[in-house]
Amino acid sequence: MNKKILVLGLGQNNFLSFLYASLKSFDTQFSITAPFYVEINKESINETWMYDNATISKRISALSMFRAFFCCFFSRHFYTTCFFILFVEGKIPKVFHFVIKQIQAQAFFIQNKNFEDFNTFHFHFMQYSYLRELFLVPKNKKIVCSFWGSDLLRTNDILNFYFVKKALNKATTITCQSLELREIILSKFGRDLFDKIQIAMFPIEEKIYTQMDLNYENKKKIAVFKEKFRYAPDKINILIGHSGSTYNNHLNIITALKECRNKDKFHLIINLNYAISKSTKKKYTKELNKVLPTIGCSYVILEKFFTNEELAVSRLASDIFIHTPVSDALSSTLLELLYASNVVITGSWLPYKTFKKAKLNYHEIDSFAELSTKTDLVIENFKSEKELSRRNKLAIQDYFFNDTTIKKWSQILN
């Protein structure tokens, strides 16, 4: 018998395809449907073999909308949420938005016979706007709710708390990527959820690691990449942050690096490649261009969304990675750069106990005041630091390249 999974919530492919491709390869009995899947990487846009989306009807008929209206009219969840938004938040326009979106979600379920033939409903990203369908799941079905990281660490408004708390109470299983994140869930939403929570890392995308292996000793290709994207050929290249999001603390890092005594020896790289809107990028680039010339070192701001091969070579082209975001779960970028033998400096406030369990070598700082001293230390001992970092490649292969992760997901989603 097929094990049918309906994937809902955030459909952006940060983790989805790696997880479900691995799951389907591990056990071909799984049938996975992701109606709202969105691929952000143009190279992978046709790599949807793991999804069985053909039978899903996304076009909603007038009859389904009509029936959805009456279903919502008699729904306790519908009324309690409307009253909460109206009388606790006091936001009338938000009530109308909720009503429209909830009727649309209900109509989508009705159009597809309430997905009665599915066994498991897997919801990604625990945020109000991605959980509307959770309250429409038929009785006696398995509901799995998966936190990604920022949904737990960066969302605090009262409606979101109310909605997520209700969703977690209804869930069969809750997943997160580390023990630290489990503790945050319990502290935030209640310790009665303890028995529901499973620690399950998302599988890593091995394609980029294969590409890094192929180019690890290819000095010519790395040199061509450096020239094309204005990396320094004769300095230590320091990558700041993993995306364009202001949560990466680029400005705090740059300000802290002003105090370095080895500024003539390094070149800063900031890639505003994703996780930032066009309007925000324009404003943020102006801010960066205002601050960067005052630091006294060379730099480049990139806005390029790399191809898979370029991304792999970019990991090999940088030497130091400074990763001190406001919050994080388990950073795949950090893991990739450790694999590429970058010396990593990160924040001690980030929940990276898993990396420590894997015995990976990297530096931590407790505050930005420590960053210049730590960076100078790394630069002045660069040869020995690089030697230590090279050991991370084998440690990552031993700890992360195995079937343990996907076996656990198979048990959770079965």
- Domain shared by 33 and 145, yes or no: yes
The tens digit of pLDDT for each residue in 281-306 reads: 999 999 999 999 999 999 999 988 89
Residue 361's pLDDT is 97
Give dist(CA 189, CA 199) in Å, integer. 17
Please check whether residues 170 and 221 belong to one and the same domain.
no
Q: 319 with 174, same domain?
A: no
Domain, as residue range, for 210: 206-400
Helices (H), 36-137: 62-73, 76-83, 92-111
pLDDT score for 47: 67
Q: Assess whether pLDDT exceeds 70 at residue 197.
A: yes
Would you state the structure tokens that stand for residue 393, as one six-digit string?
């490649």
Give the three-state DSSP class for 364. Answer: strand
Query: What is the per-residue pLDDT across 344-359, written as a single tens digit (0 to 9) for each?
Result: 999 999 999 999 999 9
Do 325 and 346 lie in one domain? The reply is yes
Does residue 40 carry a pLDDT above 80?
no
Give yes or no: residues 236 and 298 share one domain: yes
Same domain for 374 and 234: yes
Q: Highest mean pLDDT range out of 13-17, 184-188, 273-277?
A: 184-188
pLDDT exceeds cutoff 90 at 17: no
Q: What confidence score (pLDDT) does residue 402 get?
A: 81
- Shared domain for 143 and 238, answered yes or no, is no
The answer to whether residues 143 and 53 belong to one domain is yes
Long-range contacts of 290-294 (CB under 8 A, 24+ apart): 291/251, 291/254, 291/255, 292/254, 292/268, 294/258
Does residue 42 register a pLDDT over 70? no
Q: Report which of residues 412 and 308 the model is more confident about.
A: 412
**pLDDT at residue 155 greater than cutoff 90:** no
Q: What is the CATH number of the domain that holds 46?
A: 3.40.50
Count the domains in the chain.
Answer: 2
Residues 147-157: what's their mean pLDDT? 86
Tokens of 29: 């009995």
Q: Contact 168/194 with Cβ under 8 angstroms?
A: no
292 and 360 housed in the same domain? yes
- Name which of 249, 257, 241 is nearest 295 in CA terms: 257
Mean pLDDT of 384-392: 97
Q: What is the pLDDT of residues 259-275, one digit of tens each?
A: 999 999 999 999 998 88
CATH number at residue 390: 3.40.50.2000
Tell me: do 146 and 294 sit in the same domain.
no
Residues 161 and 283 in one domain: no
Same domain, 341 and 266: yes
